[in-house]
Amino acid sequence: MSALQDRVVAVTGGAGGIARGIAEAILEAGGRVGLMDLDRAKVEAAASALNAGDRVVGLVADVTDEASTEAALKTLVERMGRLDGLVNNAGIVRLGPADETTAAGLDLELAVNVKGVFLTAQAAARLFTNGGSIVNIASNAGKVGYRNMAGYNASKAAVINLTRSLALEWAERGINVNAVCPGGVATDMLKSVADFLAPRLSQDKDALFQTMYPAQLGRHIQPIEVGRVVAFLLSDAAVIIRGQSINVDGGDTPY
């Protein structure tokens, strides 16, 4: 039997780059997927691009709005009959020097990256059919302080400790909670960082993007490579890995 045979996993930020790889890996492991994102047309297109028929559904949900994520998760349970896992993947980065960060910008970044992760985890945990597993997509920025993303760095550090806390409290309910810390994954988010930095470094943005990969790997990480680690953490084989935040950044972060 495949590692996630017939299990149903919700993936927030489901229309994005890494979500695509996560969904592919869950399908590869025999599971079913509910993609959840802000825009109906985009999330439905992301679902149909996976060519997996009724094993994938696209649902509208804003992780900053508790009612909308709860409604989407309930719809997923109605459509697929159960809920076994959640990947808290939705995230935003707001770039700029720390001393120019505004209260409104910081509120939004923390609302999506921290509060959204927390409240979606609560909603999923209430709906899990028989225990469950949660994987939070943190970042190597939660362990290292990158310039021009102080709010993002802080938000991802919060996700790392939230992961430990939820694992500790929810173990007795049969729920396992872990995180991964990507870096250098070829998606629109990484391109937005290159677009921001290029003029400040007097470089061409496409040329700069091409250099933004883990040194030990010598290339960008692909979403499916992150996805396969996430699928493993969702599976029963990961039961002895609990509350961890595992680097999937090609060796950039050594701790």
Ligand X SMILES: NC(=O)c1ccc[n+]([C@@H]2O[C@H](COP(=O)([O-])OP(=O)(O)OC[C@H]3O[C@@H](n4cnc5c(N)ncnc54)[C@H](O)[C@@H]3O)[C@@H](O)[C@H]2O)c1
Please list the active-site residues. Answer: 152
Distance separating alpha carbons of residues 60 and 175, to the nearest angstrom: 25
**Residue 214 sits in the site that holds ligand X (CB under 6 A):** no
Tell me the CA distances in angstroms from 176 to 163, 235, 236, 238, one per residue in order. 10, 10, 9, 9
The token pair that represents 255 in the structure block:
């701790």
**Residue 11 sits in the site that holds ligand X (CB under 6 A):** no
According to CB under 6 A, which one of 139, 153, 178, 245 is a site residue for ligand X? 139
**Residue 18 sits in the site that holds ligand X (CB under 6 A):** yes
In the complex with ligand X, which residue's Cβ is closer, 92 or 171?
Answer: 92
**Residue 157 sits in the site that holds ligand X (CB under 6 A):** no
Binding region for ligand X (CB under 6 A) out of 72-80, 169-177, 181-189, 194-202: 181-189
According to CB under 6 A, which one of 27, 137, 229, 246 is a site residue for ligand X? 137
Tell me the CA distances in angstroms from 247 to 29, 82, 140, 199, one per residue in order. 21, 30, 7, 30
DSSP state of 39: -
**Residue 12 sits in the site that holds ligand X (CB under 6 A):** yes
CB of 220 to ligand X, least distance (A): 8
- Coil, helix or strand for 32? strand
Across 17-39, b (16+ Cβ under 10 Å) vs e yields bbbbbbbbbbbebbbbbbbbbbe
Task: Using CB under 6 A, list all residues that contact ligand X.
Answer: 12-13, 15-19, 37-38, 61-64, 89-92, 112, 116, 137, 139, 182-185, 187-190
